[in-house]
Amino acid sequence: MGIAGRHIVLVGLMGSGKSSVGRRLAQATSRQFFDTDRIVEETHHQSVREMFETVGEQEFRKRETDALRGALSSETPAVIAAAGGVVLSDVNRGLIRGATQRDTAYVVWLDTEPHELAHRVQRGTHRPLLDADPVGTLEAMSVERHSMYAEVATHVVETNGRTLEEVCTEVAIALGISEGGV
Ligand code: S3P
């Protein structure tokens, strides 16, 4: 079975392009688009940053698991941008791998060098973990999470030096989506 009955799940570090690529892929394939950060924010009427500051990261991570589970259980195949930290949890990795094992998801890892990410990410947004030392933090995250992204990914697309359009095209090629381009 090809892409038809499967979700397209995008994973990768902050700034790797999950949301931008995901939104565009969803448009091109006429699918619903889910972004776990947005689901958490809409469900709890609070921004990610506010959650880190009030209920704390641990509670945010629980909410993130609920958001991921909900998106993966969507009946119609969707495009899902899974926030950068989703892979930290064994439970979340199990949810994603379960979906691929049931042939209900392909998981694309947008793999990007930390230095390039640091140029792309904007401060003051939904990324409080990058407030202090973006490059150092992204480098540490890249080391810590590399094997976790590798564990869940069914496809890897390198995004270094590529534009949004180019990354979308690479993802489409990797997944065998040909019609009309993205
Ligand atoms: C995080 C990634 C962010 C957001 C939060 C924590 C992480 O999402 O969930 O700031 O730990 O990597 P994006 O990957 O969508 O930026």
Alpha-carbon gap, residue 34 to 79, rounded angstroms: 6
Report pLDDT for 124. Answer: 62
What are the distances in angstroms from CA 17 to CA 55, 162, 165? 27, 11, 11
- Rounded distance from Cα 85 to ligand 1 centre (Å): 6
Question: Which residues of the chain are under the pLDDT cut of 50?
Answer: 180-181
84 conformational bin, left if phi > 0, alpha if psi -120 to 50, beta if neither:
alpha
Report pLDDT for 181. Answer: 46
User: Which residue among 9, 14, 143 has the greatest number of ligand 1 atoms within 8 angstroms of its CB, and so is best to mutate?
Assistant: 14
Alpha-carbon gap, residue 11 to 96, rounded angstroms: 10
- Rounded distance from Cα 113 to ligand 1 centre (Å): 16
Report pLDDT for 125. Answer: 80
Residue from 89, 79, 87, 88 nearest 38 by CA: 79
Instruction: Check if 10 has its Cβ closer than 6 Å to any atom of ligand 1.
Output: no
What is the per-residue pLDDT across 55-99, written as a single tens digit (0 to 9) for each?
A: 999 999 999 999 999 999 999 999 999 999 999 999 999 999 999
Alpha-carbon gap, residue 29 to 1, rounded angstroms: 17
Percent of the chain as helix, strand, coil, to the nearest 5: 55, 10, 35
Q: Which ligand 1 atom is nearest residue 125's CA?
A: 10
Report pLDDT for 173. Answer: 95
pTM for the model: 0.96
Report pLDDT for 148. Answer: 98
- Taking all residues of the chain, what is their mean pLDDT, rounded to a whole number? 94
Instruction: Check if 17 has its Cβ closer than 6 Å to any atom of ligand 1.
Output: no
Instruction: Check if 127 has its Cβ closer than 6 Å to any atom of ligand 1.
Output: yes
Report pLDDT for 182. Answer: 56
